[in-house]
Structure 1
Amino acid sequence: MPESPLSASPYELLGVPVDADDAALRVAYRRALRESHPDTGGDAARFHAVQVAWTLVGTPEARARFDRGAGTSAPTRESWAPAAPRPRRDSRPQARSHGHPGGYDRERYLALIREWVGRGQELADPYDPALVRAAPRDIRHVLADALAEEATARSLATLGIAYTIWHDVATDAAGPGLPPKLDHLVLGPTGLFAVQSEDWGGEVRFRRNELIGEGLDGERPFRALAARAKAVTRPAKVKPTALLVVVPDEHAAEPLELGGSIRGAATALVRRSRLVSAIREGIPGSPSLGGTDVMEVRSRLQAVIRFA
């Protein structure tokens, strides 16, 4: 997956504004090295990140390349703009897929970024890396979620013809304060999975059957996911067998971490690279579905699902 819009920029890692002069940048780099060095009680990961930041902006030439979005590891417009359709090279049957993954959040991001720039102001490129980096975190989070949903959809498509996937399913009846859609609903012989694709910009983990992490800001992802799943499945008179929150690999300590259950559905935090195998194998503690049951559940869902 491309670098997340929530990832810290080299300037943020060094603790300087983007318009800092070269002398201030050099002082900040030396200070960050001292503070993060493992030999003086610092964090090895941050120490490495500071060194990488310096390679990106430590010289006028490298800094100019990064600011243009052309430096190594620097985001480019193509990293975040909608990808152009590409012809399939794999002839194997893919999962049946309905809806537009990430479409709702793409539209929401465009509305928010235009409003933030200012009504009446010309916005030449809403995915310009410098613009995205300067935007408030809540706007960058919307774009990060869209990218996460698109990446998950690409993975889910490889499940095979035994599975059906619905993306961006409307959940207007889920309740106040909840997003009006379910990211993905996956049906197959191993169960009915309600899936949320997320990028909070950092590591998350389970505590008491809910996720915690610095980027969550009081959110209760599994409770919210359960409510949205219920809004979709209850009219169809079916129940999800598992609730999955999918995050970038580096944001989960384990490939698959099990929680408890909510309303009879098993909960799990899953690295994106583990998602397809987790669904094919089934989540421990969640029931599988027989072939006849899958067809019946699919028919019921098709009759009630609407898209956001």
Structure 2
Amino acid sequence: MFDSPLSASAYEVLGVEPTADEESLKRAYRLRLRQTHPDTGGDAAVFIQVQRAWELVGDASARAAYDRGHGFGASATPDFSPAPDSGVTWRAPRADSRDTRPRARSHGHPGGWRRERYLELIREWAGRGVDLPDPYDPALVRSAPHDVRRLLADALAEEATARVIADLGMGYTVWHDVAPPARGGGSDDKIDHIVLGPSGLYGVLSEDFGGPVRVRRGELIGDGVAGAPVADLVARLRLMARAAGVRFSGAVVVLPDDDVLQAIDEIGKVRGTPVAIVSRSALSAVLRRGITGVRSIGGNEVFDVRTRLQQTVRFA
């Protein structure tokens, strides 16, 4: 929370200016607690945000550290730059260089299209051309227009999902930044990840809306949600399934842990496709066991599906 390019600052969550004195901050905190408490009709997810905001700025030392981080976090200024080893052929960074476990087979570059577009727009907006010293400087990012920050937030979300999938092991194959057939490559109309493993074949959408998200009638709703992301994902999977001659086991939407109240929410079928809304920390469990009621697939079938996808997939 508060370290996404889209996140409201702790001060914004509490409804005060960053220059507010200690007493004003306390009054605002108590007021926001009353307004958002679930027992009085408030939103539980926002109530948790208010408590977290107070942890970050509620005492002098924490507030000073938070302010030094440009309002993004109490411990350190966030790093929005790409992983050092990201390139044309993406590899998930290893937390421990001694870790030699086989990783999932990975094709494409997670977040690649959105990072490229972000760099174009941030340079255009800043008016400094290609000589912009640091396009990922937190202060610069925070001051950029919402649409520009959204691109970076989603790129980071895709990269975080890719790291989770990579740790599933060699029994899994993933394609990142896939352009659906009959839709132009190089656009935002894409499938973030296609994951194939023993639990089935899944299309995955990585999102960061910058705040709490809920489900209503099979679709995501929230202050930062535009359009119909679940329906759009299912429509793209149907195009890919038709072109490749495969059948998707389900669709998975991955969101930051702080933006969902339930780690795994299987919301039923959308246009015949089972859909699950999951927190990032629960993604591995869902992809290992699959969505409830979806059958596992065996070795020969996995090989056949992988071959069909390899022949069909084109990258955005």
Same-fold call, TM cutoff 0.5: yes
Deviations 1:263-290 (A, max 9, x none): 4321000111111121111111323222
Query: With structure 1 as the length reference, what TM-score do the two structures score?
Result: 0.85
Tell me, in whole angstroms, the C-alpha distance in 2 between the residues paired with 1:62 and 1:138. Answer: 28
Tell me, in whole angstroms, the C-alpha distance in 2 between the residues paired with 1:237 and 1:272. Answer: 29
Q: Structure 1 counterpart of 2:139, which letter?
A: A
Match of 1:261, SS state, is strand
Q: Which residue of 2 aligns with 1:102?
A: 111
Query: Any residues of structure 2 matched to 1:234-273 within 5 Å, and which?
Result: 234-273=242-281
- Give the Å deviation of 1:93: 1.8
- Give the Å deviation of 1:232: 2.4
Tell me, in whole angstroms, the C-alpha distance in 1 between the residues paired with 2:59 and 2:152. Answer: 23
Q: Given that residues 254 and 280 in structure 2 are in contact (C-alpha distance below 8 angstroms), is that contact kept between their aligned partners in structure 1?
A: yes
Inter-CA distance 46–173: structure 2 relative to 1 (3 Å threshold): same
Query: Any residues of structure 2 matched to 1:188-267 within 5 Å, and which?
Result: 188-217=197-226, 219-267=227-275
Match of 2:269, SS state, is strand
Q: 2:54 aligns with which of 33, 37, 51?
A: 51
Q: Given that residues 174 and 230 in structure 1 are in contact (C-alpha distance below 8 angstroms), is that contact kept between their aligned partners in structure 2?
A: no
Q: Which residue of 2 aligns with 1:169?
A: 178
Inter-CA distance 51–31: structure 2 relative to 1 (3 Å threshold): same
Tell me, in whole angstroms, the C-alpha distance in 2 between the residues paired with 1:58 and 1:14. Answer: 18
Q: Structure 1 counterpart of 2:216, which letter?
A: R
Match of 1:234, SS state, is helix
Q: 1:289 aligns with which of 277, 292, 297?
A: 297
Q: Given that residues 244 and 267 in structure 1 are in contact (C-alpha distance below 8 angstroms), is that contact kept between their aligned partners in structure 2?
A: yes
Match of 1:173, SS state, is coil
What is the number of equivalent residue pairs in this alignment? 299
Deviations 1:96-115 (A, max 9, x none): 11111111111111112112
Inter-CA distance 25–256: structure 2 relative to 1 (3 Å threshold): same
Tell me, in whole angstroms, the C-alpha distance in 2 between the residues paired with 1:244 and 1:165. Answer: 14
Q: Which residue of 2 aligns with 1:182?
A: 191
Task: Please give the root-mean-square deviation of Cα atoms over the aligned residues, in Å.
Answer: 3.1
Q: Structure 2 counterpart of 1:258, which letter?
A: E
Q: Which residue of 1 aligns with 2:77?
A: 75
Q: Which moved more, 1:95-104 or 1:9-18?
A: 9-18
Q: Given that residues 14 and 32 in structure 1 are in contact (C-alpha distance below 8 angstroms), is that contact kept between their aligned partners in structure 2?
A: yes
Q: 2:143 aligns with which of 129, 134, 144?
A: 134
Tell me, in whole angstroms, the C-alpha distance in 2 between the residues paired with 1:172 and 1:25. Answer: 56
Identity of aligned residues (%): 49
Match of 1:80, SS state, is coil
Match of 1:109, SS state, is helix
- Give the Å deviation of 1:47: 4.6
- Give the Å deviation of 1:44: 5.1
Deviations 1:82-104 (A, max 9, x none): 12135643222221111111111
Tell me, in whole angstroms, the C-alpha distance in 2 between the residues paired with 1:154 and 1:120. Answer: 32
Tell me, in whole angstroms, the C-alpha distance in 2 between the residues paired with 1:63 and 1:303. Answer: 49
Inter-CA distance 62–150: structure 2 relative to 1 (3 Å threshold): closer
Q: Which residue of 1 aligns with 2:29?
A: 33
Deviations 1:164-190 (A, max 9, x none): 110111126359xx8332110011121
Inter-CA distance 49–271: structure 2 relative to 1 (3 Å threshold): closer
Give the gaps of 5 or more residues in structure 1. Answer: none
Q: Given that residues 169 and 181 in structure 1 are in contact (C-alpha distance below 8 angstroms), is that contact kept between their aligned partners in structure 2?
A: yes
Match of 2:203, SS state, is strand
Give the gaps of 5 or more residues in structure 2. Answer: 86-92
Query: Does 2:298 correspond to 1:302?
Result: no
Inter-CA distance 12–68: structure 2 relative to 1 (3 Å threshold): closer
Tell me, in whole angstroms, the C-alpha distance in 1 between the residues paired with 2:146 and 2:152. Answer: 10
Q: Which residue of 2 aligns with 1:3?
A: 3
Query: Does 2:278 correspond to 1:274?
Result: no
Q: Structure 2 counterpart of 1:48, which letter?
A: Q
Tell me, in whole angstroms, the C-alpha distance in 1 between the residues paired with 2:315 and 2:130. Answer: 32
- Give the Å deviation of 1:60: 9.3
Tell me, in whole angstroms, the C-alpha distance in 1 between the residues paired with 2:71 and 2:211. Answer: 25
